[in-house]
Amino acid sequence: MSTAVEVDGTTEERTPPVLDLRAVTVRFGSVPALSRVSLALRAGEVTCVLGENGSGKSSLVAVVSGLLRPVEGELRLDGVPVRFRSPQQARSRGIATVWQDLAVAPLMSVWRNFFLGAEPTRGTWPLRRLDVGRAEEIAAQAMARVGVAGLDPAQPASALQAGERQCLAIARALHFGARVLVVDEPTAPMTIAQRALVLQSVVTARDSGLAVLFVTHNPQYAHLVGDRFLLLGGGRVAGDLTREDVDVEDLTRLVAGGDELTRLGEQLRAAHPDR
């Protein structure tokens, strides 16, 4: 069910968030990593989070993924308050995270890494056994869905390039029914073609109806796939914008910081002193 909001005198229909963060604060000792950050993730929408190192991006990913619990504020899943006590608990509720330093089991096959203990079987106990052929077929189809076509699922995962490893994690999230996908931009060096693969898989997830949180420092990549842009600075929301608000040049200038980002942050705090 969608809700109607008034924007510039017109009524705009918006779907309720799948996951909603409300005035979330995280502290390490007395130092706030996030300060009253609010964020709404909606199905079929990519929200890009941008900011410099130390802006709070990693802390935000950790909160959404169940790795950190806020000291103030709340998370709501389908409108119901939740407290994730671990990444496993968040994952069980449909939140899949592709971590920045994503690792695979290099000597295991691609299809083994894809299923990770949820492999299809055939036969009945006590003769039940792995259905390797079916597992390879599913893994290959899932990878093709996110743009990695012609992959041999029996090859070791160590043969995958960095972008393909990210796509493997995204393909797995899609196959196993995730509702929220968090993609933390990888630190591993990538070619343009490999980055394009990751961006294509993000778009595929959005078009499949997932609510996507894409964390990046690159405004050009963000503007290619993003529907909304959350700018963080010093753990605070410095901007919450849509594609209609900014073009790629505007976004690049804002992310670069300087006077523009400072003024935007001041304007937002003046308009919303409670944030």
Please determine, for residue 5, whether its predicted confidence score (pLDDT) is greater than 60: no
173 belongs to a structural domain:
yes
Question: Residue 232 forms beta bridges with which residues?
Answer: 237
Please determine, for residue 221, whether its predicted confidence score (pLDDT) is greater than 80: yes
Q: Are 40 and 17 in contact (CB under 8 A)?
A: yes
Give the residue among 235, 273, 226, 247 at the shortest CA–CA distance from 37. 235
Please determine, for residue 260, whether its predicted confidence score (pLDDT) is greater than 60: no
User: Of 113-127, 170-184, 195-209, where does mean pLDDT reach its minimum?
Assistant: 113-127
114 belongs to a structural domain:
no
210 belongs to a structural domain:
yes
186 belongs to a structural domain:
yes
How high is the pLDDT of residue 11?
47
Q: Which amino acid is at 104?
A: V
148 belongs to a structural domain:
no
> What is the dihedral angle through the alpha carbons of 196, 199, 200, 205, rounded to the nearest 10 degrees?
160
> Which tokens go with 66?
């169940």
Q: What percent of the chain stands above pLDDT 70?
A: 88
Q: How far is CA 200 from the centre of its chain?
A: 14
Domain count, the chain: 1
Could you read off the pLDDT of 85-101 as tens digits, one per residue?
Answer: 999 999 999 999 999 88
Domain containing 68 equals 3-104+160-271
Compute the 3-state secondary structure of the chain and give helix, strand, coil in percent, each to the nearest 5.
35, 30, 35
pLDDT band for position 206 (cuts 50, 70, 90): very high
**What CATH number does residue 254 fall under?**
3.40.50.300
170 belongs to a structural domain:
yes
66 belongs to a structural domain:
yes
130 belongs to a structural domain:
no
- In order of 33, 68, 126, 157, 231, the CA distances from 37 in angstroms are 10, 14, 53, 37, 11
